[in-house]
Amino acid sequence: MRKISASDIEYIAMGSTVLGTGGGGDPYIGKLLAREAIKSYGEVELISADELKDDALVVPIAAFGAPMILVEKLFSGDEFVKAFEMMESYLGRKIDAVMPAEAGGLNGVIPFSVAAQKKIPLVDADGMGRAFPRLEMVTFTLHGIPVSPITQADEKGNRNVYHTINNVWGETLVGATTIQMGGSCAVGCYPMSGKQVKKAAIHDIVSYAQVLGEAILDAKANHKNPVDALIDKADAIKLFSGKVSNVSTKIDGRWNKGICEILGLDKDQGSHLTLDFQNEFLLAKKDGEAIAITPDLIVLIDAENAQPITAESIQFGTRVIVLGMKADAQWRTPEGIELGGPEKFGYKERFIPIEELNKK
Amino acid sequence: MYYKIGVDVGGTNTDAVLVSQDNKILSKTKQTTTLDVSTGIANAIKFVLEESGVSKKAIKYIMLGTTHCTNALVERKELNKVGSIRIGLPASKAIPTMTDFPKDLQHVLGCHNYLVHGGYEYDGRPIEALREDEVKDFLHKMNGNIESLAITGIFSKTLPDQELKVAKWANEILGDAVRVSCSHQVGGIGLLERENAAILNAALQGVASKMVKAFKQTVSDLGLTAQLFIGQNDGTLMSLEQVKDFPVLTISSGPTNSIRGAGALSKVKDGVVIDVGGTTSDGGMLVDFFPRESTQAAQIGGVLTNFRMPDVVAVGIGGGTIVRFTDDTCQIGPDSVGYLLKEKALSFNGDTLTLSDFFIAENKIHIDGAIAVSDIKSTIEKQIGVSYDKALEKTKASIQETIEKLVDKLKTDAKDIPVVACGGGAFLLPAKIEGASEVLFPEHMEVANAFGACIAQISNEEEIIINTMQQNEESALEELLKKVNAKLLKDGAKKESVKVLTKEITPLAYLPGTVKLKIKICGDLEGA
């Protein structure tokens, strides 16, 4: 157990942007929300999954909605508490700890505000170890843990509870009502026992995000190279360095789909990389050959300051480095690949781990 | 035939150009920027009038580019006490107003921030109704404690009526002396950034009013009756009345003016512009005669806003940049003697070796008051213990390397493109640069910024969100274009010169059927 202060949130938010792999929503808003809550209600206890009692009740709390709405209609803060309290009253028992559903992007920091207000611990674990666009795309699904009951609350006080026949329906129904709520809401989902968390969640991910954030921000503060520091701490593979030469996007249904093209520089001079994204970066191809494939993490950073770049804010001409990071072992099982692999997103490539694709 | 004067006030120099109707430069000058700013402006205008012999009556427009507002924010000087009202409860409560502002700025602005019920959903439904009593109650509380007011409503970019209603009530209660900044007029989508922009705008309204008054006074003291404009950050102009209302939009107009001015002087439409000053070389990309904008949100005085500033990369190469030798390795900058060149540089009997010393010694530039060329060479040798020729070679090589890196960083693809030099220190730039198809040193390049202010156009832009189930996006976009166009013509644009810079329909992720519309247009001033 350790205490998380407002200054730790800076690091965790930066690390969450790395794990967001280009999507996950802008953690800036989440960071401010978490920081305000800690300022008002005090520091948050971060506990490891192993510290949980087997019969503890743990509930992931998440922000749900469209990125554009989240930056305009800011959260009230009450919606997270309401989704939390509704889960308690629905299940008829106290929640012992909250956790992030998704450590990448905005949702990596969102649950800190509830933990601070309710004065309960936050579990150092999540269901993705990265960001993915759908509620069912979590390791919990791989373990047969149902998303339901799902509690949902908006800033106006509207509340819902869902029992869905499977986890895909959870995303579908919550997504539909979220639009009517004005495009954003808070959800409580995947209520779990401590025992289930230990088995199904990705452990120590919040601490990992903090380590990545520290690597970047501390290197900058100490005038060291933040790119090297990040690669070292993340155990990442440097896949490509170059300059953004084109970005094309289209919205397909609910996804922000697109391709980013990068022209090689330095030792990649003469090569060309394409980065396919659907909210998150999912497929990197160098001169037509895949070199990183979802669920492995593809991270785009600014070559100068290691600032992670989201798919929405890619800028022509930026010098960038593309990093590859291994997905958690749970994602690399046949079930994991089926749920978060290339076919799920409509790519014809088959998943091959980055370390094999990039064997020297 | 009529004439225009462009003035650019920098930290060191106040530059002016006098230009004919068809944009030919008839006279130019560089004067020292004075502490009161106005005297420097007056000196510069007087000089170009006298040198050109153009009659005062024939001057139709004067355009001013100034860092006045930027400096006020950075130095936290003369800022107004600001009150703010955010319309959106119960939403947005979790992130208070000014929460991420630097502490010293919060202190200067005061903490008169209130949240009230209201605001809209993205599709136009109200989050809650606006409550007149609640708003008026807060306005009474602020009365007497604030000098200007910022009003920000959720989704006010699409539906500004609540902001306008609050502005009307504010005027009733606080009176005309308290100016009001409505967020929908100063920023884009993104509540915090837009609220920040409205607050900074409110904070600058006092400084701006004084600046506008002083500028008017200066011009009328000179016996001129020209129409006055001030440059804004996107390379277009604002009337003085607009500047009083929206001073925050003048921030960072300097680099924009240089880039546009250099483009027009060299007739290069697409390329790299490098503006070399006393302290830095600022590189920017010229795309279709306009500066490429940064996609990163700009921080102004430590505050996050959603302004799109020109994408400028600075390197430490300027006329006053200090050169040091350790054994035979040459280290250029990054520090500079800045405006103290004539006191500190070796060429003026100072004790510091600067980049200018080499170029004065090489007869590339003549600056009044410099010692004899042969003396400069021997002084340099004495100072660093390296032969002059070797030192020159190393220094030039070092400049070459830095500038090539700068050009490479700015370019979007591998193709060679033109590089245009401008600014008072342009003589420092090499004639050949790797990655450049050519390096141009256009005539009048040292006053490209003042010329840029002179040729600036006026513009107008809007961005809104619509639901395609309620409205056809194509017709909504045309409607928006009509509205934006009408305002531009009202502001004085020549009808046939109006050009559409941006016309976008962007679908929004996770919101099927919802799109963002954005229009930006510009045009020449009537008669300009």
pLDDT in tens, B328-362: 788 898 888 877 888 899 999 999 999 999 999 99
Interface touch B122/A183, C-beta < 8 Å: yes
Could you tell me the sign of the dihedral formed by the alpha carbons of B48, B52, B56, B58, in that order?
A: negative
- One domain, residues A101 and A33: yes
B99: confidence class by pLDDT, cuts 50, 70, 90: very high
By the 8 A CB rule, do A296 and A350 touch? Answer: no
Which CATH number covers residue A183? 3.40.1610.10
Q: Work out how many CB contacts closer than 8 A connect A with B.
A: 136
- One domain, residues A64 and A192: yes
In B100-218, beta strands by DSSP E:
112-117, 148-153, 179-182
- One domain, residues A56 and A164: yes
Would you state the pLDDT for residue A253?
Answer: 61
Interface membership of A156 toward B (CB under 8 Å): yes
Residue B145 — left, alpha, or beta (φ > 0 → left; ψ -120 to 50 → alpha)?
Answer: alpha
Write the DSSP symbol of residue B118. -
Residue A290 CB contacts under 8 Å (≥ 6 apart), including other chains: A283, A284, A349, A352, A357
Would you state the pLDDT for residue B497?
Answer: 87
Would you state the pLDDT for residue B295?
Answer: 64
Could you tell me the sign of the dihedral formed by the alpha carbons of B424, B427, B431, B435, in that order?
A: negative
Would you state the pLDDT for residue B307?
Answer: 77
Taking each helix axis as running N to C, give the angle between helix A111-118 and helix A27-41, from 0 to 180 degrees, rounded to the nearest 10: 10
Residue B105 CA to residue A223 CA, distance in Å, equals: 27
- One domain, residues B134 and B198: yes
- One domain, residues B343 and B383: yes
Interface touch A77/B93, C-beta < 8 Å: yes
pLDDT score of B133 more than 90: yes
Name the token pair of A139: 């390791």
Would you state the pLDDT for residue B67?
Answer: 81
Of A339, A205, A352, A246, which is closest to residue A291 (Cα–Cα)?
A352
Contacts of A78 in chain B (CB under 8 A): 90, 93
pLDDT score of B391 more than 60: yes
For the stretch B183-197, pLDDT in tens is 998 888 899 999 999
- One domain, residues A161 and A245: no
Last residue of a domain, one of B268, B284, B315: B268
- One domain, residues A244 and A160: no
Q: What is the domain count for chain A? A: 2
Q: Which residue of A has its CA nearest to B122?
A: A182
Averaged pLDDT for residues A241-252: 81
Would you state the pLDDT for residue A14?
Answer: 95
Last residue of a domain, one of B399, B419, B442: B442
Which CATH number covers residue A278? 2.40.390.10
For the stretch B281-294, pLDDT in tens is 999 999 888 888 77
Residue B122 — left, alpha, or beta (φ > 0 → left; ψ -120 to 50 → alpha)?
Answer: alpha
Averaged pLDDT for residues A301-323: 87
Contacts of A73 in chain B (CB under 8 A): 88, 91-92, 119, 121-122, 127, 154-155, 191
For the stretch A159-192, pLDDT in tens is 999 999 999 999 999 999 999 999 999 999 999 9
Contacts of A179 in chain B (CB under 8 A): 511-512
Interface touch A69/B295, C-beta < 8 Å: no
Residue B163 CA to residue B157 CA, distance in Å, equals: 10
Q: What is the domain count for chain B? A: 4
Which residues does residue A153 pair with via DSSP β-bridges, in sequence order?
Answer: A159, A186
Would you state the pLDDT for residue B394?
Answer: 93
- One domain, residues A199 and A253: no
Averaged confidence pLDDT in chain B: 90
Contacts of A255 in chain B (CB under 8 A): 509
Nearest by CB to B191, from A74, A182, A317: name it.
A74
For the stretch B458-472, pLDDT in tens is 888 888 888 888 888
Convert A34-70 to b/e letters by CB count within 10 Å (16 or more is b).
bbbbbeeeebbbbbbbebbeeebbbbbbbbbbbbbbb
Domain that holds residue A158: 2-205
Query: Is residue B114 assigned to a domain?
Result: yes
Query: Is residue A247 assigned to a domain?
Result: yes
Percent of chain B with pLDDT over 70: 98
Judged by DSSP in three states, B502 sits in strand
Of residues B477 and B513, more confidently modeled = B477
Query: Is residue B448 assigned to a domain?
Result: no
Nearest by CB to B412, from A32, A157, A317: name it.
A317
Q: Amino acid identity of A277?
A: F
Would you state the pLDDT for residue A252?
Answer: 63
- ∠ Cα A13 A17 A239 (to 5°): 140
Would you state the pLDDT for residue B527?
Answer: 58
Residue identified by tokens 């439904």 is B125
Query: Is residue B107 assigned to a domain?
Result: yes
Residue A95 CA to residue A85 CA, distance in Å, equals: 9
Averaged confidence pLDDT in chain A: 93
Averaged pLDDT for residues B207-226: 94
For the stretch A66-111, pLDDT in tens is 888 999 999 999 999 999 999 999 999 999 999 999 999 899 999 9
B528: confidence class by pLDDT, cuts 50, 70, 90: very low
Interface touch B154/A36, C-beta < 8 Å: no
Interface touch A251/B507, C-beta < 8 Å: yes
Of A284, A272, A321, A263, which is closest to residue B412 (Cα–Cα)?
A263
- The per-residue DSSP string of B369-389 comes to TPPPHHHHHHHHHHHHSS-HH
Which residues does residue A289 pair with via DSSP β-bridges, in sequence order?
Answer: A286
Nearest by CB to B509, from A155, A157, A279: name it.
A279
Contacts of B296 in chain A (CB under 8 A): 313, 315
- One domain, residues B424 and B314: yes
CB neighbourhood size of B9 (10 A): 28
Query: Is residue B22 assigned to a domain?
Result: yes
Query: Is residue A92 assigned to a domain?
Result: yes
Of residues A22 and B415, more confidently modeled = A22
Nearest by CB to B511, from A155, A183, A279: name it.
A183
- ∠ Cα B394 B397 B401 (to 5°): 140
Would you state the pLDDT for residue A228?
Answer: 93
Q: How far is B509 from chain A (nearest CA, A)?
A: 5
Nearest by CB to A73, from B91, B285, B510: name it.
B91
pLDDT score of B66 more than 90: no
Nearest by CB to B511, from A32, A179, A250: name it.
A179
Query: Is residue A349 assigned to a domain?
Result: yes
Would you state the pLDDT for residue B118?
Answer: 97
Query: Is residue A41 assigned to a domain?
Result: yes
- One domain, residues B392 and B327: yes
Contacts of A316 in chain B (CB under 8 A): 292, 412
A255: confidence class by pLDDT, cuts 50, 70, 90: low
Residue B15 CA to residue A115 CA, distance in Å, equals: 58
pLDDT score of A254 more than 70: no
Interface membership of A317 toward B (CB under 8 Å): yes
Interface membership of A47 toward B (CB under 8 Å): no
Interface touch A179/B91, C-beta < 8 Å: no
Would you state the pLDDT for residue A349?
Answer: 93
Averaged pLDDT for residues B45-67: 93
When scoring A40, A74, A113, A319 by the number of chain B Cβ atoms within 10 A, the one with the most, hence best to mutate, is: A74
pLDDT score of A233 more than 80: yes
- One domain, residues B45 and B177: no
Would you state the pLDDT for residue B419?
Answer: 97
Contacts of B122 in chain A (CB under 8 A): 68-69, 72-73, 182-183
Interface touch A251/B508, C-beta < 8 Å: yes
pLDDT score of B488 more than 50: yes
Write the DSSP symbol of residue B295. S
pLDDT score of B211 more than 50: yes
- One domain, residues B61 and B125: no
Which CATH number covers residue B228? 3.30.420.480
By the 8 A CB rule, do B26 and B19 touch? Answer: yes
Domain that holds residue B515: 457-523
By the 8 A CB rule, do A134 and A282 touch? Answer: no
Would you state the pLDDT for residue B360?
Answer: 93
What is the phi/psi pair of residue A339, to 5°? Answer: -80, -35
Q: Which residue of A has its CA nearest to B123?
A: A182
Q: Which residue of A has its CA nearest to B189?
A: A72
Of residues A300 and B66, more confidently modeled = A300
Residue A274 CA to residue A289 CA, distance in Å, equals: 10
**Counting runs of H as helices and runs of E as strands, what totals does chain B give?**
14, 23
When scoring B510, B515, B516 by the number of chain A Cβ atoms within 10 A, the one with the most, hence best to mutate, is: B510
- The per-residue DSSP string of B197-224 comes to HHHHHHHHHHHHHHHHHHHHHHHHHTT-
Would you state the pLDDT for residue B147?
Answer: 96
pLDDT score of B507 more than 80: no
Rg (CA), chain A: 19
pLDDT score of A62 more than 50: yes
